[in-house]
Amino acid sequence: MSSRTLKFARYRGVLNGDSCILINISNSLDTLMKEKIFVAALCCSGSVFAQSSVTLYGLIDAGVTYTNNVATPIGHGSEIQLLSGSSQGNRWGMTGVEDLGGGLKAIFTLENGFNIGTGALGQGGLLFGRQAFVGLDGNWGTLTIGRQYDFIGSVFPAYAIASNTPAGLLAFSLPAYAAGAYSLDNRIWGDDVNNSVKYRSASMAGFSLGAMYGFGNVAGSIGTNSSSNFILNYDNGTFSTSLAYMSIHNATGTANSSEFAGGTAYNLGKVRIFALVTDVQLSSGTKARASTYEGGIAYLVEPSVSLGGGYQFQRRNNGLGSANQVVLSADYFLSKRTDVYVVGALAHDHGFGAQTQAALGAPSSTDVQTAIRTGIRHKF
């Protein structure tokens, strides 16, 4: 090859999803230029698809939580914990999109949960326990298949104190029925549905609707462990509202559950006002039922400071009385991706030992409990 020059030319065009690479063996500049022009034309021809993209993202939340009146074998005492993912669950994930042409796109999301304090996987050790789905998105709407949040878990946090402020699990405990062992969980904090098919329509004059079905995958029975979910939304940018219904077979092993949810929010300059109502009932036994109401406000005092808070009330049947909770928060943004916050919650439960923090907290030895959390959150 003494009289020839080996040339490698990489082109940015994409042919069938792969970069075009040319190995040119030429004797003259004229021949090399012709080959380059040929490949460039090939890469830009009608058979070429638009480039795909994959985005890596994540969130890390850590802080210290003080809780009083925690029940112990000999009475009660206060507890101070370094806790991970209280404001928002820690996560690392990737989402991808491929333009298939004609307004149609292939999409996917794989999302992992983890504990920053121990490094352990979340969601029972699942690799992609938070989300794992693939689907299509087009002018007709979005269709996805896999492990994914139902509509109540994906849409209704927009109307909850826990998500409009950094309160997180300190404001999810009461509506998730933590003190009652989550048997009447209203799913606002984002439960996943395995083996599910989910469709959401495109927006039409602000309106959209959706339907979702979770397969039970039980031989000989279509209904066992299955679920169905429907939603109607309206959003014009300033005002939004949603109505949803969720039915779960064998929600507690012996009973089915049904849930109705309604939420609304209004943005007025620096102020966001929001409210949420859920009603969850079991089909058998004592037909336990819990209706939860909450409302709150978030105020952006200045670009770097936000104050928020709200009130929650829950009514139950079977003589379990009611419960209520007050939540207050202050959030300081060090940048667009990093903030530090303080949250305080006071819970009063007439039916159980109060539990101010879902999942990571412990019940009180009395019907009252207070928790205060300070933490830092970073998004990437």
SS (H, E, C) the chain: CCCCEEEEEEEEEEECCEEEEEEEEECCHHHHHHHHHHHHHHHCCCCCCCCCEEEEEEEEEEEEEEEEEEEECCEEEEEEEEEECCCCCCEEEEEEEEEEECCEEEEEEEEEEECCCCCCECHHHCCCCCEEEEEEEECCEEEEEEEEECHHHHHHHHHCHHHHCCCCHHHHCCCCCHHHCCCCCCCCCCCEEEEEEEEEECCECCEEEEEEEECCCECCECCCCCEEEEEEEEECCCEEEEEEEEEECCCCCCCCEEEEEEEEEEEECCEEEEEEEEEEEECCCCCCEEEEEEEEEEEEEECCEEEEEEEEEEEECCCCCEEEEEEEEEEEECCCCEEEEEEEEEEEECCCCCCCCCCCCCCECCCEEEEEEEEEEEEC
Tens digits of residue pLDDT in 313-359:
999 999 999 999 999 999 999 999 999 999 999 999 999 999 999 99
- When pLDDT is cut at 50, 70 and 90, the band that residue 300 belongs to is very high
pTM of the model: 0.85
Tens digits of residue pLDDT in 257-291:
999 999 999 999 999 999 999 999 999 989 999 99
Mean pLDDT of the 179-190 span: 94
